[in-house]
Chains A and B, each alone.
Chain A
């Protein structure tokens, strides 16, 4: 997948609270992530970091605003047209791994290929190579419940990058991992930008993780404040 620029224009999202009243989470967020750029998003809990990632990844629609991938306003596409964008152009790594418990590790990885029309036989060598590189190939036939947290996150990472997406969204991917496993995942994400030109947006609380990013965006009360404190 060719490197691609990501833009958020005036993104707003309001949820409904337990009492039915509105709970504004994002309020007119504008942001841009260049092709091959590694950007961290930081901010206090509940400030809307995950919601921003969900909107950028087309996991839910914004109330207002637009998401652009390259020259295409993907947030305006029909539900059906958004599916291949999600499948081919965007990879997700979640804090809670989100593996499907009834599938083996290998089948979880291959799931990414299924919905973009890649034949299993075609995707299998790439899936095995990725799992080998991440050190989970020997767990290919195991179910998620039989894997450690670190192994599950590495399997989830393999699934996220199997289709070589131009944009990788990682929501606290190291939140449930020890230092060693966290380092592996962060290094992989860094490598995606460096070696493949993918754009990576990382939501994190960890200062060491944010320090790996090209720059850090700070989210406060539903608004993004560029801090420009990243390292290269």
Chain B
């Protein structure tokens, strides 16, 4: 590789390569930030489009993907019988930190209680990817599976114990792989454990149960349910059918929720577009300017070569080969530079549960192809300008 580059590249191309590398590094870094935001928005969108979320009537906890009051067990039964429903999973979703300042953030950490025996309801996320350890099993109690950011911010490993409020500790049995969306900040516990945590936190609920009214049982302690639909069923139609046929429930319609999410993230989408355009303009201008300048700097050499009998085509082929080698080398170094910057910055912000960059294969491939194409075009432009000159004029200008 080094030998090939040595043969292809004149000695004094080092600074050209470094110039291109800086431009491409900027392009890749900006692109990686844009990719990260895209994945976050798309991830949330896919999640809400993969299930119908149902809550009880009223205000309730207002957390996570449901917004409503208690969803009692009999309502869940009724939902399960609505034609088109494939599965219903009762859930308890609690904020880890119930202060109002945490409540309203996009990066809120959540405790999610689920029944592992129930079929996974989200059609887009059938199985949460486990990186270390295992996922919840039927019959588990006192254990927790944590999302990747949740684990990273607390340096959690499988086997450690974790306090999830009210003095209750859980054994970490699994750490999820990064999804770049909501589950990265989840602590997933068995449904019964989540109900315990809820009861310990909410004095009103404790009073209701202590009163022994008999109107409610532990099975009624659900903040919501995730509903999956049978194949061929339109989820939005089904959501409306559930709303109509089951009384006392709040149903989110996936299509509408997706639209709302998209509207609320419209600013980020615009920002993302701006970042992408900025990256292309800065990276592209830097690269093409560097390659063009490098070719013009060697105008005297091309004059000499033409004096020795080089044809326009021979010169163009020679310059293009050099330009491609320079551009791709610069592009590759730029990619490595951007990766290094990204990893250093991400390592620093990861302790806050954040990840700024997402270096997807398509982005890296695009950067290399972009470098090669733009480098080739810039070199072609410069060559066509140079070959119009007579050899003597080229030598004079390069002197």
A: which residues have CB within 8 A of B?
54, 57-61, 79-80, 83-88, 92, 96, 98, 100-103, 111-112, 114-116, 143, 159
The reply to whether A115 and B310 form a contact with Cβ atoms under 8 Å apart is yes
Interface centre among B301, B309, B392 (most CB of A within 10 A): B309
Does B390 contact A83, Cβ atoms closer than 8 Å?
A: no
Query: Which of B12, B314, B393 contacts A115, CB < 8 Å?
Result: B314
Q: Is the CB of B311 within 8 A of A60?
A: no
Interface SS, B side: helix
A73, chain B: closest CB distance, angstroms: 18
From B304, B314, B392, B399, contact of A100 by CB (8 A): B304
What class of interface size applies to chain B in its complex with A?
A: 20 to 34
Per-residue interface assignment for chain B, residues 122 to 137, with 1 indicating a CB less than 8 Å from any chain A CB and 0 otherwise: 0000000000000000
CB distance from A90 to the nearest CB of B (A): 9
A/B interface sample: 22 pairs, CB < 8 A = A59-B390, A59-B391, A61-B390, A79-B312, A83-B306, A83-B310, A86-B307, A86-B308, A86-B391, A87-B309, A96-B399, A100-B304, A100-B305, A102-B10, A103-B10, A111-B308, A112-B309, A114-B310, A115-B305, A115-B308, A115-B310, A159-B308
**A121 and B169 alpha carbons, distance in the complex (Å):** 78
Q: Is the CB of B392 within 8 A of A87?
A: no
B11 within 8 Å of A (CB atoms): yes
B-side contacts of A61, CB under 8 Å: 390
**Minimum C-beta distance from B109 to chain A (A):** 58
Q: Tell whether B22 is near chain A: CB-to-CB under 8 Å.
A: no
Verify B309–A115 contact, CB threshold 8 A. yes
Residues B279-312 near A (CB distance < 8 A):
300-301, 304-312
Chain B residues with Cβ below 8 Å from A159 are 308
Chain A residues contacting B390 (CB-CB under 8 Å) are 59-61
What residues of chain A lie closer than 8 Å to B300, measured between beta carbons? 98
Name the distance in Å between A65's Cβ and chain B's nearest Cβ.
15
CB distance from A184 to the nearest CB of B (A): 22
Question: CB within 8 A of B308: which of A79, A102, A112?
Answer: A112
Give 7 closest A-B pairs by Cβ, nearest first. Answer: A87-B309, A102-B10, A60-B390, A59-B392, A115-B309, A60-B392, A54-B392
The 0/1 profile, CB within 8 Å of A marked 1, for residues 384-395 of chain B is 000000111101
Q: Complex: how many Å from CA A58 to CA B303?
A: 12
CB contacts (< 8 Å) of A88 on chain B: these are 309
Report whether B304 and A98 are in contact in the complex, using a CB–CB cutoff of 8 Å: yes
